[in-house]
Amino acid sequence: MARSQQRKLFDEAKLPPEDEDAGLYAQVVFNRPLRESFTYAIPVDMVGKILAGKRVLAPFGRGNNRTTGFCVGVSEEPPTTQKLKSIAAVLDEAPLLTPSMLRLTKWIADYYACGWGQVLDAVLPHAVKQRSGTRWTVFLQPVPEEKRPEAKLTAKQQRAFESLIDLKRPATIKELAQSARCGADCIKALVTKGWATSERRRVHSRPPVLAPIVWDRPRALNPHQKAAVDAIGGAIRDGIAKTFLLHGVTGSGKTEVYLQSIAEVVKLGRETIVLVPEISLTPQTIERFRQRFDEVAVLHSHLSDVDRHWHWQRIARGEVQVVIGARSALFAPCPNLGLIVIDEEHETTFKQETTPRYQARDVAAQRSRLENVPLILGSATPSLESWLAARQRRIELLSLPERVENLPMPRVTTVDMRHEYRSGARALSGVLRRAVIETVDAKGQVILFLNRRGFSTTILCPSCGHVESCEHCEISLTFHKKLDRLLCHFCDAEFPVPSRCSSCGLPSIRYAGIGTERLEEEVTALFPNYRCARMDSDTMRSAPHYDKVLTAFRRGEIDILLGTQMIAKGLDFPNVHLVGVVTADTGRNIPDFRASERTFQLIAQVAGRTGRGQTPGRVLVQTFNPDDPAILAATKHDYHRFVNEEMPTRKEFGYPPFDSLMRVIVRAKDEEVARHASKILAARFRACLSEFPPGAVRVLGPAPAPVAKLRDHYRMHFQVHSRQPALRQKLLEMAIKDLQLPGDTEFTADVDPISMM
């Protein structure tokens, strides 16, 4: 049927005048940093169409510009006697957000100090809002016999009507015409004569093509795994909101515990959300889960908009058993959720660094409570927040202290690079070079970990000491040899490679520091006969790239895999016999109270990538600080030792997990304006402290941020500490009420910050 004919079947009703409302009112929020909702009158012809969870078009602001907002409630009582503006249009056929998801997003807005509309806009993928990959299609269905009109049908029309009945479902015009062997005019006559009703629906034009499945059987559990599965299974069957911390050494079989727990959820006809921290883990994770379950959906940023929307719709219809994805998959619209799993729960990638700045682990706990489902937090190196919660019995600890099949933990040795550099060593020490040769010659594989990308991390002038920095940020530039450019890893700005020092003008440029690009060059020069591949954000631009490299590594087509933290966790390759940590000191000395924790976690996680087969694994950790407590604990695979050394310091200075922390960042294009505004804001916070018990809330600062200039804005920050998050939230609301900051100043409240940079 031609488009003009389709439109005639579905003439849009004209919008009524604004004063023709139905006595019903919609509460609407917009994608703005506003805490309140706005009330609009619902026109008569929109009654029943405007529901909580749908998007609407409404006049907003003094200019009454039509703006997209979210309906969060419908009521019969207006909040005022003044005349209200009316909703202009409804944008969605069905609610995009369930009542429980509306409650969850409201909690996020309140806890993380941002607008509810900002949260709603963030949790809905762009592909869903744009209805990517769908088109309007007309569907027909027969009118019930008792309601059929007297109008007679022709023979062709009768045949078409009988075909429609035989299909036993709504049919498109095209498939009905093919089934009845008639034209579009014949089908249209069924509607105009009243024998069939028609409606327009959005349908997907093409679903993604999935690879064939090789099924896998559940594996035998050791006693520790069985105890964990039994405990989780009881909470699943009881339908209670209980959080479990699954603490298992690397290679202890945490994934098998997840799989067998999810099988219990599937038996009950419910769904599970599984969050993984890195896109690089997704292909391997998807493969393992698809080997056990019929319907697995994937949600992550490397999907096309069409595929992402297709998966989202399947989830919303209840056609999916397991949803796998990165942080945002937590908001998947599961209609009958039964379990949430967060693998590697300690990972910093679970914290959103833009508004809304939520921590997925804490939001998952809130969704668990709202929907009465268990939550599993899995890690070999749990966050100190989760560990303290388990120690205080606020969540239940499940331990997997042994590797599956009683495989030994890898032997870890530190290499003191102070001695190596005196003898002129390059990125790889003599010890590590010899170990690589021994491993590959014995048909084993090697992983080399370096958490810095690029070729050289510093470009300096030995004559005057100047370091080339980004003109938009106070951060040193990184040289990328393949691009022949200097890059800022904060704002992504690019600059030409200088031939002379930009400060003194002398041609004495020196390249210092090492990134993965330079490491790859050194490795290929040292081992020309070995097959090497690099995994970092420069080489891995999409999910297929990850999958291709990891598949080749699994097949033994790559001898040495080197890369950043994306290779440090979650990957399981039994033939990896050696792991080399090229420098363990990369993040140890940054001004951040979590630096020690991150160092321990990264080394422990990357060390766990080896020794997963029958051949014992070996780990070499190159460091200039071999006596550092975090490094020593990681080399001993001793999480408890690290916790016992780190916790007293955190408690003494009132940092998480003991105090709740909020970081307030003030920024402006003028340095003096930023400094002045930060003093004003910090003073307002301190002025409100008299309303709280002595010592209940502390304000520290302001001071320049460690990265004092970022994207052409100067940055100051201060900290708000409190044992009770509610007090911290109340202080924020009091301090910013009627706030007026000078000039173009902006401020951000980062609740439970994961980075202090």
- Percent of the chain whose pLDDT exceeds 70: 93
522-540 average pLDDT score: 91
Please tell me which residue, 434 or 546, carries the higher pLDDT value: 434
Amino acid at 637: H
| More confident site: 206 or 339 | 339
Mean pLDDT of the chain: 88
* Category of 194 on φ-ψ map: left (φ > 0), alpha (ψ -120 to 50) or beta: left
Residue 13 has pLDDT above 50, yes or no: no
Residue 73 has a pLDDT of 93
Compute the average pLDDT of residues 73-92: 86
Which CATH architecture is the domain 223-405 placed in? 3-Layer(aba) Sandwich (3.40)
Residue with tokens 């304000």: 699
User: Facing residues of 204 across strands?
Assistant: 134
Residue pLDDT, tens place only, 657-690: 999 999 999 999 999 999 999 999 999 999 999 9
Q: Quick check: 15 pLDDT over 50?
A: no
> From CA 302, how far away is CA 307, in angstroms rounded?
10
Q: How many CB atoms lie within 10 A of CB 15?
A: 14
- DSSP characters over 417-436: HHHHHHTT--SS-HHHHHHH
What angle in degrees, to the nearest 10, is found between the helix axes of 360-371 and 99-111? 140
Contact (Cβ atoms closer than 8 angstroms) between residue 225 and residue 257: yes
* CB atoms near residue 154 (< 10 Å): 12
Distance separating the N- and C-terminal Cα atoms of the chain: 60
Q: What is the reported pLDDT for 299?
A: 85
Calpha distance 462→510 (Å, rounded): 7
Residue 54 pLDDT grade (very low, low, confident, very high; cuts 50, 70, 90): very high
CA distances from 446 to 278, 501, 555 (A): 21, 39, 14
> Under CATH, what is the fold of the domain 660-751?
Alpha-Beta Plaits (3.30.70)
Pairwise pLDDT comparison (145 vs 558), residue with the higher score: 558
Answer for the pair 22, 78: CB distance below 8 angstroms, yes or no: no
To the nearest whole percent, how much of the chain has pLDDT over 90? 58
Q: Tell me, what's the pLDDT at 210? A: 59
Higher pLDDT, residue 77 or 622: 622
Q: Which of 129-143, 273-287, 352-366, 496-510 has the highest mean pLDDT?
A: 352-366
Q: Return the residue matching tokens 């919303």.
A: 316
CB atoms within 10 A of CB 443: 11
pLDDT of residue 611: 79
**Which of 378, 331, 436, 263 minimizes the C-alpha distance to 105?**
331
Q: What's the rounded Cα separation, in Å, for the pair 373 and 330?
A: 13
Residue pair 345/395 in contact by the 8 Å Cβ criterion: no
pLDDT interval class at 425 (50, 70, 90): low
Which is more confident, 185 or 233?
233
pLDDT at 153 over 70: yes
CA dihedral 545, 549, 552, 557 (to 10 degrees): 130
Q: What is the CB neighbour count within 10 angstroms for residue 371?
A: 19
Q: Report, as an integer, the average pLDDT of 289-313.
A: 85
Break the chain down into helix, strand, coil percent, rounded to 5.
Answer: 35, 25, 40
Q: Report phi then psi at 637, rounded to 5.
A: 55, 40
Binding residues: 461, 464, 470, 473, 488, 491, 501, 504
Question: What does residue 217 show for φ and ψ, rounded to 5 degrees?
Answer: -90, 150
6 or 173: whose pLDDT is higher? 173
Query: CB of 514 within 8 A of CB of 452?
Result: yes
Question: Mean pLDDT, to the nearest integer, of 568-585?
Answer: 85
DSSP code string of 485-507: EEE-TTT--EEEPPSS-TTT--S
pLDDT at site 1: 36
The CA distances from residue 590 to 110, 323, 501, 720, 755, in Å, are 31, 36, 27, 21, 10
DSSP for 318-372, written as a single string: T--SEEEESGGGGG---TTEEEEEEETTT-GGGB--SSS--BHHHHHHHHHHHHT
Give the span between the Cα atoms of 751 and 498, in whole angstroms: 41
Residue 570 has pLDDT above 70, yes or no: no
Average pLDDT over residues 35-52: 91
Q: What is the pTM of this model?
A: 0.87
Fold (CATH) for 3-125: GIY-YIG endonuclease (3.40.1440)
Strands 375-379 and 396-400: unpaired
Tokens of 585: 């000191």
Answer yes or no: CATH 3.40.50.300 is held by domain 407-455+514-649.
yes
pLDDT tens by residue, 624-642: 999 999 999 999 999 999 9
pLDDT for the residue 680 = 94
Say if residue 67's pLDDT is above 90.
yes
Q: Binding site for Zn(2+): which residues?
A: 461, 464, 470, 473, 488, 491, 501, 504
What's the confidence (pLDDT) of residue 666? 96
Question: Looking at 2-6, 172-176, 604-608, which range is the least confident one?
Answer: 2-6
| Ranges of CATH 3.40.50.300 domains, the chain | 223-405, 407-455+514-649
Q: Give the DSSP letter of residue 727.
A: H
Contact 97/71 with Cβ under 8 angstroms?
Answer: no
Residue 524 DSSP label = H
Most confident of 10-24, 427-441, 603-617: 427-441
| Residue pointed to by tokens 């109270």 | 593
Q: In this predicted structure, what is the pLDDT of residue 7? A: 35
**Nearest 5°: phi and psi at 214?**
-110, 110
Which pLDDT value is given to residue 528?
95
Which residue from 549, 522, 556, 551 is spatially nearest to 534, judged by alpha carbons? 549
**Res 119: pLDDT:** 97
In this predicted model, what pLDDT tens digit does every residue of 457-479 receive, in sequence order? 889 988 888 899 999 998 899 99
- Looking at the chain, the domain(s) classified CATH 1.10.10 span 134-204
Q: State residue 9's pLDDT score.
A: 34
pLDDT score for 542: 64
Question: What is the assigned CATH class of domain 134-204?
Answer: mainly alpha
Cα angle for residues 755, 35, 59 (degrees, 5° grid): 125
